[in-house]
């Protein structure tokens, strides 16, 4: 039998040599491809010779789990704006507030479209809805329709619902914890609080149990969506030849697309039957879409994907529960708050003092009390800064070539807002790795108002993004966070378990992030809590 190595003559046989030569050639081609940025950074310039923003000298197929740490290291090495190749896609990373304002706000017309991620935008969402639409007329139409139910005025119509859901959140944790005697994992209840608020706004309904078939279906879709998407998740998004090859992941994406149409389509049909029968249906997104379908020329897939993305878009799981991106923000922040506060008892004590002095113990806080509780407001802002549920805002994309301060940003570059580095900017946030709510005392603006400040160094944080693509659900998320966290502080003392340390460094999730599962004791602060909680019982709203 012919061997690869001829022992007698000490040489490689011809057939084997061909295989070796082919392997070496492939190795050289791969090396040249992954090292090509060394040359491309010198060759790719604008008409005035300005180069690309500096960055690593190689291409990457993926980034490690905690990608924000890699980007923070590169920011410290390459500066406030740098570039990185992910496969064939050039990313430009913004890590400075002034650069973020100049590019995403002042020049928003150039930096407000979206990259057509193959898996998320083309396969799963088929170019529909706000998150997958390129910047243009279709995006403006979809955003206008969606934001009709998210304006501050519209939020007033949902005020009682949000108040009720925060009541049920506190009551559920109180009952689960048996008055502080039994440790609780708050993830499920924070998730259901956020989900129900979103379902009310989207479909005019809520669920009273995680056993609801709707929740189970939505959970499956959300988990699959999270597994298949994210700015660094899929090599197929960065290596175009992979898009021509049938793969199991692509089949999963097609199946998820069909699942979204099926589940949310059936929910829309049920809602429509109620409307046509003359039954009262509350104002919500689906009602708006159905009433304007003909005038806005929305096809069936538009309806399904708009409602799905509004409820699930940018979803991530929160310890086995689903959230929309803005609701993931809400639930994630509640979970991070509850993870942080047991190890910061001096902050809790200051909050208790303010609550007892301003509110007393005969009632609990309402939305109207927010201006009079600046320290509670500061705690919420600081949680959003220190533990933003998304370290990377949804990526933008350039619609044309652009030159900025001696660097060249080509058309179709993906532009990423690096919230981790922005939130750890020592000039803006001294001692940035510490949890210090006091830094926000005197800041009386909401997140939306703060994002419009002329002096960008006075902006509170970047959790909701920037520019024309800033999160449209910001008013709803702010109100929910206020009601939930202010009432949790009014109701409970928070005690960690001696043998179960809560990790504040590690987390779950790919694009979104929540703490690793943990338990704590929620001990009632006073005897009036039980009486207040008895004022509302949980109900299910039909759909």
- 33 lies in some domain: no
The answer to whether the CB of 249 falls within 8 A of the CB of 119 is yes
Of the two residues 128 and 73, the one the predictor is more confident about is 73
Least confident stretch, 77-86, 276-285, 479-488: 276-285
Predicted confidence band at 378 (pLDDT cuts at 50, 70, 90)?
very high
Predicted confidence band at 1 (pLDDT cuts at 50, 70, 90)?
very low
Of the two residues 477 and 460, the one the predictor is more confident about is 460
- 426 lies in some domain: yes
Most confident of 20-29, 35-44, 51-60, 467-476: 51-60
β pairing state of 316-317 and 322-323 = antiparallel
- Report the run of H or E that residue 416 belongs to, with start and end: strand 414-417
What pLDDT is stored for residue 322 in this prediction? 33
Q: Can you give the pTM of this predicted structure?
A: 0.86
The pLDDT of 265-293, averaged and rounded, is 88
The answer to whether the CB of 461 falls within 8 A of the CB of 99 is no
In this predicted structure, the answer to whether residue 6 has a pLDDT above a threshold of 50 is no
The answer to whether the CB of 423 falls within 8 A of the CB of 362 is no
- 98 lies in some domain: yes
Of the two residues 210 and 492, the one the predictor is more confident about is 492
296-304: long-range contacts (C-beta < 8 A, 24 or more apart)? 296/141, 296/145, 300/265, 301/126, 301/128, 301/261, 302/128, 302/129, 302/142, 303/265, 303/268, 304/260, 304/261, 304/264, 304/265, 304/268
Per DSSP, the three-state class of 96 is coil
The answer to whether the CB of 480 falls within 8 A of the CB of 486 is no
Of the two residues 396 and 434, the one the predictor is more confident about is 434
Beta bridge partners of 523: 493
Mean pLDDT taken over the chain:
84
Predicted confidence band at 483 (pLDDT cuts at 50, 70, 90)?
very high
Q: DSSP strand E in 39-153: where?
A: 59-60, 81-86, 89-94
- 32 lies in some domain: no
* Four-residue CA torsion sign, 120, 124, 127, 133: negative
The pLDDT of 413-424, averaged and rounded, is 95
- 19 lies in some domain: no
Q: Which two tokens stand for residue 425?
A: 């900017």
In this predicted structure, the answer to whether residue 338 has a pLDDT above a threshold of 90 is yes
Q: Which two tokens stand for residue 383?
A: 């949680």
- 485 lies in some domain: yes
531-534: long-range contacts (C-beta < 8 A, 24 or more apart)? 532/363, 532/364, 533/167, 533/170, 533/171, 533/174
Number of C-beta neighbours around residue 432 at 10 A: 16
Per DSSP, the three-state class of 268 is helix
The pLDDT of 48-70, averaged and rounded, is 89
What pLDDT is stored for residue 394 in this prediction? 76
- Report the run of H or E that residue 5 belongs to, with start and end: strand 5-6
Of the two residues 141 and 372, the one the predictor is more confident about is 372
Of the two residues 83 and 464, the one the predictor is more confident about is 83
In this predicted structure, the answer to whether residue 314 has a pLDDT above a threshold of 50 is no
Give me the count of residues in the chain. 543
Per DSSP, the three-state class of 413 is coil
In this predicted structure, the answer to whether residue 534 has a pLDDT above a threshold of 80 is yes
Q: Which single residue is written with the structure tokens 């992910």? A: 86
Predicted confidence band at 64 (pLDDT cuts at 50, 70, 90)?
confident
Q: How far apart are CA 490 and CA 476, in angstroms?
A: 21
> Helix/strand/coil (H, E, C) string of 62-75?
CCCCCHHHHHHHHH
Number of C-beta neighbours around residue 81 at 10 A: 24
Give the list of residues 6+ apart from residue 348 with CB closer than 8 angstroms, or none. 341, 489, 493, 494
The boundaries of the domain holding residue 260 are 59-535
- 138 lies in some domain: yes
- 509 lies in some domain: yes
Q: Which single residue is written with the structure tokens 């301060």? A: 405
Among residues 436, 438, 439, 463, which one has the least CA distance to residue 451? 463
Cα angle 447, 427, 425; round to 5: 65
The pLDDT of 328-337, averaged and rounded, is 84
Q: Which single residue is written with the structure tokens 């939020």? A: 155
Q: How far apart are CA 473 and CA 303, in angstroms?
A: 19
**Could you read off the pLDDT of 428-457 as tens digits, one per residue?**
999 999 999 999 999 999 998 999 999 999
Q: Which single residue is written with the structure tokens 């002095």? A: 357
The answer to whether the CB of 280 falls within 8 A of the CB of 154 is no
Give 472-538 as a DSSP string. Answer: TTHHHHHHHHHHHHHHHHHHEEEEEBTTBPPPSS-EE-SSS-EEPP--EEEEESSTHHHHHHTT---
In this predicted structure, the answer to whether residue 317 has a pLDDT above a threshold of 60 is no
The pLDDT of 100-127, averaged and rounded, is 86
* Maximum Cα–Cα distance across the chain: 97
What pLDDT is stored for residue 2 in this prediction? 46
What pLDDT is stored for residue 146 in this prediction? 67
Predicted confidence band at 460 (pLDDT cuts at 50, 70, 90)?
very high
Q: Which two tokens stand for residue 361?
A: 């113990």
Give the list of residues 6+ apart from residue 143 with CB closer than 8 angstroms, or none. 130, 472
The pLDDT of 172-198, averaged and rounded, is 89
Q: Which two tokens stand for residue 534?
A: 């008895």
What pLDDT is stored for residue 136 in this prediction? 65
Residue 539 is given by DSSP the state: -
Q: Which two tokens stand for residue 387?
A: 């533990």
Of the two residues 1 and 400, the one the predictor is more confident about is 400
The pLDDT of 7-27, averaged and rounded, is 65
Give 293-346 as a DSSP string. Answer: HHHHT--HHHHHHHHHHHHHTT-EESSS-EE-HHHHHHHHHHHHHHHHGGG-HH
**Whole-Å CA distances, 414 to 89, 121, 400:** 8, 14, 12
What pLDDT is stored for residue 200 in this prediction? 84
Predicted confidence band at 343 (pLDDT cuts at 50, 70, 90)?
very high
The pLDDT of 132-159, averaged and rounded, is 67
Predicted confidence band at 215 (pLDDT cuts at 50, 70, 90)?
low
Predicted confidence band at 335 (pLDDT cuts at 50, 70, 90)?
very high
The pLDDT of 519-543, averaged and rounded, is 81
Residue 502: CATH number of its domain = 1.10.630.10
Q: Which two tokens stand for residue 206?
A: 């809520």
Predicted confidence band at 538 (pLDDT cuts at 50, 70, 90)?
low
Q: Number of folded domains in the chain? A: 1
Q: Is 304 annotated as a binding residue?
A: no
- CB burial class (10 A; 0-12, 13-18, 19+) of residue 48? exposed
Of the two residues 511 and 102, the one the predictor is more confident about is 102
Q: How many helices (H) and strands (E) does the chain have?
A: 20, 15
The answer to whether the CB of 233 falls within 8 A of the CB of 65 is no
What pLDDT is stored for residue 312 in this prediction? 61
């Amino acid at each position: 039998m012919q061997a690869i190595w001829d022992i007698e003559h000490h040489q490689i046989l011809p057939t084997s040599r061909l295989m070796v030569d082919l392997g070496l050639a492939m190795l050289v081609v791969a090396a040249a491809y992954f090292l090509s940025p060394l040359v491309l950074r010198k060759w790719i310039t604008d008409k005035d010779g300005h180069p690309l923003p500096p960055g690593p000298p190689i291409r990457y197929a993926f980034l490690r789990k905690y990608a924000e740490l890699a980007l923070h290291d590169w920011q410290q090495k390459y500066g406030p704006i740098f570039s990185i190749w992910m496969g064939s896609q050039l990313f430009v990373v913004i890590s400075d507030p002034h650069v973020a304002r100049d590019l995403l706000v002042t020049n928003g017309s150039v930096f407000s479209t979206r990259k057509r991620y193959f898996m998320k935008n083309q396969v799963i969402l088929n170019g529909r809805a706000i998150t997958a639409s390129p910047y243009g007329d279709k995006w403006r139409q979809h955003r206008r329709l969606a934001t009709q139910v998210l304006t501050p005025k519209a939020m007033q119509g949902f005020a009682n619902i949000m108040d009720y859901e925060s009541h049920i959140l506190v009551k559920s944790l109180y009952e689960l914890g048996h008055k502080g005697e039994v440790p609780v994992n708050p993830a499920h209840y924070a998730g259901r609080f956020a989900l129900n608020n979103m379902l009310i706004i989207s479909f005019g309904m809520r669920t009273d149990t995680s056993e609801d078939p709707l929740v189970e279906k939505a959970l499956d879709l959300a988990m699959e969506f999270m597994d298949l998407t994210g700015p660094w998740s899929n090599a197929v998004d960065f290596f175009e030849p992979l898009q021509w090859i049938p793969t199991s992941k692509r089949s999963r994406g097609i199946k998820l697309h069909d699942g979204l149409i099926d589940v949310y389509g059936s929910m829309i049909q049920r809602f429509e039957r109620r409307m046509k029968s003359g039954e009262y249906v509350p104002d919500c997104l689906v009602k708006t879409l159905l009433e304007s379908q003909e005038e806005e020329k929305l096809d069936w897939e538009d309806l399904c994907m708009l409602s799905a993305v509004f409820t699930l878009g940018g979803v991530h799981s929160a310890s086995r529960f689903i959230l929309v991106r803005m609701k993931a923000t809400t639930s994630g922040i509640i979970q991070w708050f509850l993870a942080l506060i047991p190890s910061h008892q001096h902050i809790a004590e200051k909050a208790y003092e303010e609550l007892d002095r301003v509110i007393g113990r005969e009632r609990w806080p309402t939305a109207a009390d927010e201006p009079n509780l600046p320290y509670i407001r500061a705690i919420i802002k600081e949680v959003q800064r220190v533990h933003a549920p998304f370290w990377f805002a949804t990526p933008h994309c350039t619609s044309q070539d652009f030159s900025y301060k001696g660097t060249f940003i080509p058309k179709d570059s993906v532009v990423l807002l690096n919230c981790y580095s922005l939130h750890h900017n020592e000039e803006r946030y001294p001692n940035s790795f510490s949890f210090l709510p006091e830094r926000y005392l005197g800041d009386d603006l909401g997140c939306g108002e703060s994002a419009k400040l002329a002096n960008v160094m006075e902006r509170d944080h970047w959790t909701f993004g920037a520019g024309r693509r800033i999160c449209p659900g910001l008013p709803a998320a702010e109100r929910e966070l206020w009601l939930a966290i202010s009432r949790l502080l009014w109701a409970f003392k928070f005690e960690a378990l001696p043998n179960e340390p809560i990790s504040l460094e590690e987390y779950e999730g790919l694009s979104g992030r929540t703490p690793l599962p943990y338990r704590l004791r929620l001990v009632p602060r006073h005897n009036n809590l039980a009486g207040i909680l008895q004022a509302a019982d949980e109900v299910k709203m039909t759909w």
